[in-house]
A and B are shown apart, each in its own frame.
Chain A
Amino acid sequence: MSATLALNALKARTRALGKQILGQNFQLGALGLLAFVVLWESVSRSGWINPIMLPAPSVVARSAVDLIASGELIRHVLSSLWRAFLGFAIGSFLGLALGILMARLPGVHCLLNPLVQIFRAIPSLAFVPLAIFWFGIGEISKIVLIAFGVFFPVWVNTYLGTRDTNPLFSRAAASLGARGWRMLIFLILPAALPFIIAGVRIALGSALVLLVASELTGAQFGVGYLIQLSQQVFRVDHMFVGLITLGLLGFLFDYAFVCGLRKFLPWYGAENGQANGTR
């Protein structure tokens, strides 16, 4: 009995995940995806195009299975994840800290604002050659680059959210006895949380971009490096495996992020929706 229940729950969950990926109309979405794969397969097998340039999805799938079985893909993914995680943690910590400092201390803001604005205007990809020149092609240059790219979206949103606290909330908290650091911890930060979360979500995307960009320049392992290496040895099927892996990683990051929000901050989206609906 409980087994059927569990099975049903699993089915429901799979369906929900499917909906998330394929949109509201599950069947139609699945049909579109299937049509794309069939078209790709037939074009690749038709003989109009060199199958080395465009390997069929069945070939790509076989290569993926091989790469997974040999443990190679896992090593690429793990080293990429580790870099992304370190860079993301360092970058968002610095963004959070500096955002709060600049919003709360006008002196720090005046001192650092021009500097940060100038650096923000430079696309972070442009720093790739410089980072490699300074830190080599080892782990440090990659982590620094990712941290650099993650820093700005987190900083901007933390700064704005912390600066523009709803005065109604600050008044309410002040009349309830919140002062100084308690005001910061128990009011300003939670009130700025929606902004900070939005910044972190943007940063997730830019972390992935910089991860690949830094790995393309050379590494021993990494999904970006897998793509680069495959190009050099004419393994277009491996390039496709790398691309699909990146797509899946990006999607899973975002999905995990949204699930975490729903679980730990149930008020997050609801409050916004209601604010739009009623006022």
Chain B
Amino acid sequence: MKLSLSIGKTGNLSGAGFGQLFWRLFGRLNPYRRDNDSPRHHPGMSVEDKRSETTERTPLHGSPDERAARALAEPGGPLIECRALTHTYHTRLGTRITAIADVTLAIDAGEFVCLLGPSGCGKTTLLNMVAGFLAPTAGELRLDGKAIHGPDPDRGVVFQDYSLFPWLTVESNIAYGLLMAGMSAERRKAEVGALLDLVGLPHIGAQYPFELSGGMKQRVAIARALATHPAVLLMDEPFAALDAMTRESLQRQLLDIWTRTRKTILFVTHNISEAIFLSSRIVVLSSRPGRIVEDIRLPEDSRPRKRTSPEFNRLYERLAQAIGVEGSE
């Protein structure tokens, strides 16, 4: 699998020797594992089969649900594909800054990928490009085989700042994307009810965002982003503004939502333990220009990951080193 080989080839840490104990404890965790080891692939499928499926991928059509189902049913090709992605911009003083340099990354359907890196490393730039808010300066960016042009409901976004529309009730906020898609009021109501249940806030539909706490706002924002049944959920440090206790509770809830919906999630964070707690895969970006320095797959059977466990802390140390922070948090 050529595609995936290029994903995670990481530079400076490839030869670093970590304790043998770590590998024994984390068992299947292996940053250099090739995709054909992945249990998500049909066992009988040859490499050629998968390739042809990728190239002959049906264009994006049908209802969002069908799309999501198809994305899950076709584990062959990656859902999101970045090839040699670069983004440069000019500051007001005219300096040229490369936020993201030559990032090649493939994300499969159903993965929970955390983009981890220090502040200003371009992880949000990468997310904004996937969301369609920014255009790449160079390179290719595809969702489900189709080039990404601008924002679209097939990519739901949860922002760091509270982005709920203050003039709408919680219900109307969640129904916003459905209204834009022209869904009838009755169906909207049913969908909104189900989504409020999913995020555990069944009774707040009639309230306005200003009446909610920060944590509740972000849960509503998640519900709003999920309403259009996007193929992927993009989250830009959604819990960064919350206090530690609320953050941990929301992390658990997000994990629960992910387990239930198996939605592909691309999650940006600078918080190492958040990344370890949540992800099925952690992609570490270096500081300016942002390049991938680590690409680690975490074993699913280690969930829920205890923050006090030795393997958690070992991975923490390793990631802290990769980012360049001395294990402080």
* Contact surface of A with B, Cβ cutoff 8 Å: 168-169, 171-179, 182, 186-187, 190-191, 193, 265-267, 270-271, 274
Contact = CB atoms under 8 A, between A and B. Distances in A.
A271 B176 CA distance: 19
Contacts of A171: 131, 133, 151, 157, 159, 163
Contacts, number: 74
Given A171-B131, A177-B153, 6 more contacts: A175-B155, A176-B176, A186-B179, A186-B180, A190-B168, A267-B167
A80 to B, nearest CB: 34
Given A175-B153, A177-B152, A177-B180, A190 B210 contact: no
B235 to A, nearest CB: 12
B167 A191 contact: yes
A267 B212 CA distance: 12
A169 B166 CA distance: 10
A172 B131 CA distance: 10
Contact of A172 (B150, B152, B163, B181): B163
A267 B133 contact: no
A267 B180 contact: no
B77 interface: no
**Secondary structure call for the A interface:** helix
Given A174-B151, A175-B151, A267 B210 contact: yes
B210 A182 contact: no
Interface residues of B, number: 30
Interface in B154-191: 155-157, 159, 161, 163, 165-168, 176-177, 179-181
Interface string B8-51: 00000000000000000000000000000000000000000000
10 contacts: A168-B159, A171-B157, A173-B165, A175-B132, A176-B224, A176-B228, A177-B152, A177-B177, A271-B209, A271-B210
Of A169, A176, A187, A274, chain B has the most CB atoms within 10 Å of the CB of: A176
Given A175-B132, A177-B177, A169 B165 contact: yes
Contacts of A186: 176, 179-180
B217 to A, nearest CB: 11
B167 A174 contact: no
Nearest to A183: B180
Contacts of B180: 173, 176-179, 182, 186
Contacts of A274: 210
Contact of A190 (B150, B152, B165, B177): B165
Contacts of B312: none
Q: Which 5 A-B pairs have the closest CB atoms?
A: A176-B177, A177-B180, A174-B151, A175-B151, A177-B153
A168 B161 contact: yes
B208 A172 contact: no
Given A175-B132, A176-B224, A177-B228, A169 B176 contact: no
Contacts of B227: 176
A168 B161 CA distance: 8
Contacts of B168: 190
B156 A175 contact: yes
A37 B12 CA distance: 86
B159 A172 contact: yes
Interface in B113-155: 131-133, 150-153, 155
A175 B156 CA distance: 6
Contacts of A176: 153, 176-177, 180, 224, 227-228
Interface in B221-263: 224-225, 227-228
Given A266-B208, A267-B208, A175 B165 contact: no
Given A172-B159, A177-B181, A271 B228 contact: no
A200 B70 CA distance: 52
Nearest to A187: B165
Contacts of A173: 165, 176, 180
B218 to A, nearest CB: 13
A193 B225 CA distance: 24
Nearest to B181: A177
A227 to B, nearest CB: 41
Of B133, B151, B157, chain A has the most CB atoms within 10 Å of the CB of: B151
Contacts of A193: 167
Nearest to B162: A168
